[in-house]
Structure 1
């Protein structure tokens, strides 16, 4: 757009003097969609600094050994490292493991152990971890039962598990709009219903403690992202910018929290299970 404006400015000047511009109110500051998403996640129960819970019902302390399988960019495990826990990370992508290792280098984590692995099997001893995290991974793997069996194997008796997968309401919303590769290997190769998710976790031998959902904001953002056809690393588009501004205004409204809760219950980006190993 800036390039287009420069070209127009370099054209033939008008025959008549241009009128004085009418003063307008300053445009509102642009909302960072990712920071807004972080704020939305915190309202949903993530990253509670006061209680030390990575997610509601999942406290992490310096006495824990926490394993994050599919660590991605390290956002979840960084919170846990800041609690002083012993950290183990695993991901199939070496670049992500190295980036996360560097991200954790200055944290008070007691130790940091890194593995590049497809988790079949995990190169970790039986009954190692007191906390196991795996978010938005199961929808990618070929054999969820085998994957979950490995997570259960490496947890100590009494270990807590934080597991999440995309919610079917959001996945169904995007089916005919998302880029085809979004629902192809190595991306989302299955849509997991609430009942299937609970059954997967229970069949693996874990006791389901809670099952919740959140993320209407991200569901709508992703829907608009496909329409905007921009790069994810630089997702700057009027559709996305307007949506972020709208959601921020909703959250800031007197009943913003109530509206968010109602919409999260209808179309959620993710479903989260907290479980315990007997």
Structure 2
């Protein structure tokens, strides 16, 4: 179930079925596209500055490793910047989906690895950018996982690491599906200080530590209540919430309100770090 959720959050969805409820005057808002809009306001996918995330620039001279790449949303941005791409995931189907997604891109090269990352089949100090988003909450040994990411980074390499924020995880308790907090899904809830400690103990310097995603935290909560499937999340709760958030972001103080709410309940916490 959680794999389907991650795919929904990171892969463009097919056109949604026509709503069976609601006024014909209310336009459908694609939750994925709205999620991209929300993420951009939080510093993701900055084409102008060439940053995958605020403070994480990617250029054609970089070699980017994405561990737990899913269907390749993050590395697609990096490929468009002309970087060399290495993707690693335990799921062969996701690796193939990413390979197809990057076909014909501006990437210098694309290498695809099906691996559990213990260890990574990559030489020491061989990459300049390491990305691993929403992965560490799944692994059996977080410290060993981070040590392996640090091993393959060059001196001065930048790291973009994210994990579910505890505020959103606690919000889901009692409402999420039974397997949400069970292996192979979220086997731990990671506090902010714990996340920072793991990263610094692995030998990295934390450059920034932020959070975002109030929109998705509430969307997930309403999803559990709606009782629909990820393949076609068609329910008034989800449609109405998506429309509300869309209207909010377009309002004069929408971005400021979003920023405040992201500090209250965030889907994700994001660390940018540097290898000395």
User: Which residue of 123, 148, 151 maps to 1:150?
Assistant: 148
Q: Residues 148-200 of structure 1, C-alpha deviation per residue, up to 9 Å, x if partnerless?
A: 00000000000000000000000000011101101000000000000000001
Distance 2:64 2:57 in 1: 11
Count the aligned residue pairs. 258
The C-alpha deviation readout for 1:20-78, integer Å capped at 9, x for no partner, is xxxxx851211001110111001100000000000000000000000000000100000
Superposition CA RMSD, Å: 1.5
Q: Which runs of 4+ in 1 moved over 3 A?
A: none
Q: Does 1:254 align with 2:218?
A: no
Mapped partners of 2:209, 2:82: distance in 1: 27
Aligned ranges for residues 113-124 of structure 1 at < 5 Å?
113-124=111-122
Give the 3-state SS of the residue equivalent to 2:188 in structure 1.
Answer: coil
In structure 2, distance between residues paired with 1:26 and 1:194: 44
The structure having more radius of gyration, on CA atoms, is 1
Q: 2-side partners of 1:29 and 1:242: how far apart?
A: 10
Q: Which residue of 1 aligns with 2:35?
A: 37
1:18 aligns with none
Of residues 133, 149, 158 in structure 2, which corresponds to 1:160?
158
State the alpha-carbon separation in 1 of the partners of residues 28 and 133 from structure 2: 29
2:220 is the alignment partner of 1:222: yes
Counterparts in 2 of 1:58-69, with a 5 A limit? 58-69=56-67
Q: What's the secondary structure of 1:132's corresponding residue?
A: strand
Counterpart-to-counterpart distance in 1, 2:41 and 2:234: 25
| Residue number in structure 1 paired with 2:236 | 238
Aligned mates of 1:235, 1:130 — CA distance in 2: 38
Q: CA deviation at 1:233?
A: 2.1
Partner of 2:135: 137
Task: Give runs of aligned pairs for residues 43-54 of structure 1, distance below 5 A.
Answer: 43-54=41-52
Out of 101, 106, 109, the residue aligned to residue 108 of structure 1 is 106
The counterpart of 1:196, out of the listed 191, 194, 199, is 194
Query: Which whole-Å CA distance do the structure 1 matches of 2:142 and 2:28 have between them?
Result: 41
Unpaired stretches in structure 1, ≥5 consecutive residues: 6-24
Unaligned stretches of 5+ residues in structure 2 = 1-17
Q: 1:178 to 1:26 in 2, by over 3 A?
A: closer
TM-score, normalisation: structure 2: 0.91
- 1:102-152 CA distance string (max 9 Å, x none): 100110100001100000000101011100000000000000001000000
Q: CA deviation at 1:234?
A: 1.3
- Equivalent position SS for 2:183: coil
SS at the partner of 1:73?
A: coil
Are residues 1:267 and 2:265 paired?
yes
1:97 to 92, 95, 100: 95
SS at match of 1:114: strand
SS in 1 for 2:179: helix
